[in-house]
Amino acid sequence: MNVESELEKGNFVVGECLKCKKIVWPPSEYCNRCFGNVSIKEGPLQGKIIEFSKQGNDYFCLVEFNENVKIIGKIADDIPQINQSVMVKKCGIQNGDYFFEFTSN
Ligand SMILES: [Zn+2]
């Protein structure tokens, strides 16, 4: 069981270093600060939009969940605004890449 296989199942999780407690993102087997082993932790619930752009009919946002976790994904139900609070609605792995969809409620 690892972070990637949980994401693949649609569960938003992040890694947490067992030694220094740093949140490890993007997913990795070892902590990028102290090389400690990483355990799975439920992903943070609320993030905020720090950037967005429109591609075709879709809006893509860069969402910051905390200082280490920044994720790009699609927002489906709303026109995004900077600093807007969002949650992860869906996540997964598609063609070898992570994909995320956010919702504002
Ligand atoms: Zn560490």
Asked whether residue 19 falls in the same domain as residue 51, the answer is: no
The rounded Å distance from CA 48 to ligand 1 centre is 25
The rounded Å distance from CA 41 to ligand 1 centre is 14
Q: Which residues surround ligand 1, an ion (CB under 5 A)?
A: 17, 19-20, 22, 31, 33-34, 36
Asked whether residue 24 falls in the same domain as residue 52, the answer is: no
Q: What is the pTM of this model?
A: 0.90
Peptide bond before 26: cis, by omega within 30 degrees of 0? yes
The rounded Å distance from CA 2 to ligand 1 centre is 17
- 62 pLDDT band, cuts 50/70/90, is very high
Range of the domain at 17: 3-42
| Helix intervals (H) in the chain | 3-8
Cα 30 to chain centroid, rounded? 18
Domains in the chain, number: 2
2-58 tens-digit pLDDT? 899 999 999 999 999 999 999 999 999 999 999 999 999 999 989 999 999 999 999
Burial of 67 (C-beta count, 10 Å sphere; 0-12/13-18/19+) = exposed
The rounded Å distance from CA 4 to ligand 1 centre is 19
Asked whether residue 36 falls in the same domain as residue 51, the answer is: no
The rounded Å distance from CA 24 to ligand 1 centre is 8
Asked whether residue 51 falls in the same domain as residue 97, the answer is: yes
Are the C-beta atoms of residues 44 and 66 closer than 8 Å to each other?
yes
